[in-house]
Structure 1
Amino acid sequence: MGWLRFVALLVVTLVIYSPVGAAPTGSVVVAQGVDPTTLDPMNHQETPAANLARNIFDTLLERDQELKIQPALATEMPKLVAPTTWEFKLRAGVKFHNGEPLDAEAVKFSLERLVDPKLKLRGATPFAPLSHVEIVDPLTVRIHTKAPWPILDTLMSGTGAAILPPKYYKDKDMAFVAKNPVGSGPFKFARWVKDDRIELEANEQYWRGAPRIKKLVFRPIPDDAVRVAALQNGEIDVAVNIPPHLATIIANHPKLFLSTAPSVRTIQLMYYTHQYDAQHKLVGPYAGPVADRRVRLAINHAVDVDEIIKSVLDGKGVRVATMLTDRHFGFDPQLKPIKQDLTRTKQLLAEAGFPGGVDMVLNGPQGRYVRDKEVAEAIAGQLTKAGIRTTLRVFEWGNYLN
């Protein structure tokens, strides 16, 4: 299923960057559902960490308000100088928060770090076509790919391709930089109180001009009602992942503003079919019931997604057949979602050797996605009624991810 994204804001007038000579003032507190697992922009694939990275780091390219790709640290869009070579020109005079210059050496170090197989960074997979970076001069680099890669510009606009200060990151171990990031973005890292807050301070030397806000704070508040109450009480200024059933409260509040937009986030059941070791290498097939395709299909037929959208998401979800929404490249409208069919579920379980039903464990996070715990509870209830006796285990995001 996919759904609409809700973001609520306390009504304040904000300008991203200060007028020339004006010092940053005040603070903005943003509530996310969870704490990031890391502040290393290359070692994750999670939105809460990316939201922090977008404020701490810069990228060669970026998307504007209309989602069009534009130059950022690059002075212009890259040139394809060969089928597998892209040339980028860099801005002069940009410095990292620690004073290191942002130059061709920094770009080479950063992108080659991202795809270094020894580091096994979680964000590396989408960048697999990247081969190496060539330094042409201090402000010119050429990115070489293993084969023609037409979406390189798209990947270079994401925070996974953040540019890092090479001397700082070369000298520190992975655990340290995960908690002590240094970038060139509009805000500098100040401190991280785990599961309480992450504080950022304005980078007054930012190449685009100092931010108007002096302090930016990110707080994890997993419980939806608590997050909304904090917004109503003025404890926070921005809240993300507003649950649909509380959206009307915010929309009718005289001092709050609710922003709604179609989301490309999809939520799906993921089946554990293979086992991996601590280094994420494949060990072999999983011996449990879901290794049997018939059991997986039985589960699919047991879930009434439309009812979950209606009762849990207040009708604000859209059922999809695959992980792709109609806003994704590759979306196929001819593919239709599986419908609930409890007779088919019973038949498939019997064929798989479970005529009396089967026991299952469903693991899920709380606070990461819109009403994630409640969606999991509804699924567990539906599965149990269908003869798939389900035990639900809900975890804090970091524990769930690991």
Structure 2
Amino acid sequence: MGNFDPHLATASQDRIMADLIFNGLLRYVPGQVPKIEPDLAKEMPTFHMVNGKYVCRILLKKGVMFHAAPNIPSHELTADDVVYSLNKSADIKKSAYASNYAGMTVKKTGRYAIKIIIEPPLSTLLFLPKLTDYGGGFIVSKKIITTMGYNQFKKHPVGTGPFAFKRYLPGKKVELTAHKDYFRGTPKLHGITFHLMPELKDREAALCNGELDIITGSGKKGWVESIKNNSKEIEIDTHGVGEMGIVFLNTQVKPMDDIRVRKAIAYALNRKIFLQATSKLISGPVFSPVPTVFLPGGLSESNVRELGLDYVQNLEKAKQLLDQAGYSQGFTLDLVTSEKRLFQTNYMILKQQLSQIGINCHVKVVSHRDMHKSIRDKKNPKGIVFYVAWRPNADAYLSQFFHSHFIPAAGEKTGTNFSYYNKIDKLIEDARCEIDLERQSHLWSQAQIKILNDMAALPLMYTLQIYARKPWLDYGHPIESSMALYPQFTEKTCFLK
């Protein structure tokens, strides 16, 4: 685990905890992204122009209770908590999503009412996700943080969600207990225990012998057939969202600051080899930073091919570009990967393919948490970062991975512009403020053409989520797509026997 502040949840395990412990004003309908419905809000927000400013008004549900904390009893959520939370989300020191909340002024208008002034105006397509149970949209308790202290809150989270934090045994497990006063009803499960088991074989054994009810699966080819052979009482679930696998090339560190080197790397890589390492059940190719298969605003394969930006593997051309850049003998890169299969496997493929043009990659394997820290460390920037992530819209993809505001700052761990790229800020900002959807999509396309032309990043693939469970575990909802990157356990999740 990282820490339990939902506004700092970037790794998948941290996102799961945030999903279970906290709520947003709105929520993605469990298992049915991109559908949005009210959560802590009584109804969907209303929007008005007031004195030339775009104003969103939100009424809160009454009687929503926060979990109890050590020496602090359960208490009701009010507008003060929402104002505090959204302001915290905009604080770069306390939120990994701070820039998403810039330009928002949040004011209390009653005990259960707030208004948000949005400058400049945003389309609902871009604004509503900021209020959902994702990223900076989670609502925390002002009383808890100011009474317990922020550092203690990061160790003992308190929210309004269906499950409350009980204890964390570092490196072993996290225990949650049912929130009996949950506003949607007391959960059917008495609690949940998450076992932290990075080794797939350990998870498989625990599932097959009945120690666990559900495990994170593997996209490795043949894994589904293998686990089903071990036990007949296993169901396999695959679902969205489709996380993007992108190779980010640092545009500001030598020798990567030379566009010829970056393009040589792109021509050295074969997208098909990366895809072959993952089951076809959960993967497919992508050709632009915004996955057009899932979201508006991306580029199709035919689009990039017509523009000559598909970078089909061409080792001879790659070697010529390196020679022109003065690196005919190649060079060495020090890279770092998570222990998770998807990261580690793709880094090894990357290493093998780059070795064909004389680039020697030293790849260090660390914990998933430590990888996240390392690739955000400006004091020791990485020339190449392979990253897997999902974002809810084109603006989020382009802003968080390619706007200069997201270049990692010295000592900060929040920046995700691993390319250290600064050439499309205006395109991103103009698209963000564009109300006309066709014009907005055109601007997003132009930004991505620039990214590919400068070879700041090479999109490779998408991967769906995969889980294996016992058939008697019922999620309580259909599972098509989840922003929380797991099937989601709610108050309706239960055992059928």
Separation in 2, partners of 1:193, 1:141:
38
How far is the alpha carbon of 1:172 from its aligned partner? 4.0
- What are the superposed Cα offsets for residues 6-57 of structure 1, whole Å, 9 maximum, x if unpaired? xxxxxxxxxxxxxxxxxxxxxxxxxxxxxx3121001233332111111101
Q: Which moved more, 1:100-109 or 1:166-175?
A: 166-175
Higher helix share: 2
Q: Which moved more, 1:201-210 or 1:58-67?
A: 58-67
RMSD, aligned CA: 1.8
- Aligned twin of 1:269: 247
- For structure 1, the 5+ residue unaligned runs are 1-35, 274-284
- Aligned twin of 2:267: 301
Separation in 2, partners of 1:263, 1:101:
33
Separation in 2, partners of 1:147, 1:387:
49
- What are the superposed Cα offsets for residues 256-305 of structure 1, whole Å, 9 maximum, x if unpaired? 110123542111222334xxxxxxxxxxx43x211222111111111122
- 2:56 partner SS: strand
CA contact (8 A) 1:115 1:124 kept: yes
CA contact (8 A) 2:25 2:133 kept: no
Equivalent position to 1:247, from 221, 224, 244: 224
- Aligned twin of 2:95: 121
Separation in 1, partners of 2:196, 2:263:
36
CA contact (8 A) 2:7 2:94 kept: no
Question: Normalising to structure 2: TM-score of the pair?
Answer: 0.67
Give the 3 Å change call, closer, same or farther, for CA 48–348 of structure 1 in structure 2: same
Task: Determine what percentage of the aligned residue pairs are the same residue.
Answer: 26
- Aligned twin of 1:138: 111
Equivalent position to 2:78, from 92, 103, 118: 103
CA contact (8 A) 2:315 2:356 kept: no
Matches within 5 A, 1:21-100: 36-64=1-29, 65-67=31-33, 68-82=35-49, 83-98=53-68, 99-100=74-75
Higher strand share: 1
- What are the superposed Cα offsets for residues 284-336 of structure 1, whole Å, 9 maximum, x if unpaired? x43x21122211111111112202212x2144531211222210221121124
Separation in 1, partners of 2:272, 2:14:
31
- 1:133 partner SS: strand
- Aligned twin of 2:336: 363
- 2:236 partner SS: strand
Moved over 4 A (4+): none
Separation in 1, partners of 2:94, 2:267:
37
How far is the alpha carbon of 1:142 from its aligned partner? 0.6
Equivalent position to 2:358, from 365, 377, 387: 387
Separation in 2, partners of 1:256, 1:302:
40
- 1:213 partner SS: coil
Matches within 5 A, 1:74-223: 74-82=41-49, 83-98=53-68, 99-117=74-92, 119-130=93-104, 132-150=105-123, 151-159=126-134, 160-223=136-199
Question: Normalising to structure 1: TM-score of the pair?
Answer: 0.82
Structure with bigger RCO (C-alpha 8 Å, 6+ apart)? 1
Separation in 1, partners of 2:151, 2:258:
39
- Report whether the alignment pairs 1:322 with 2:293: no
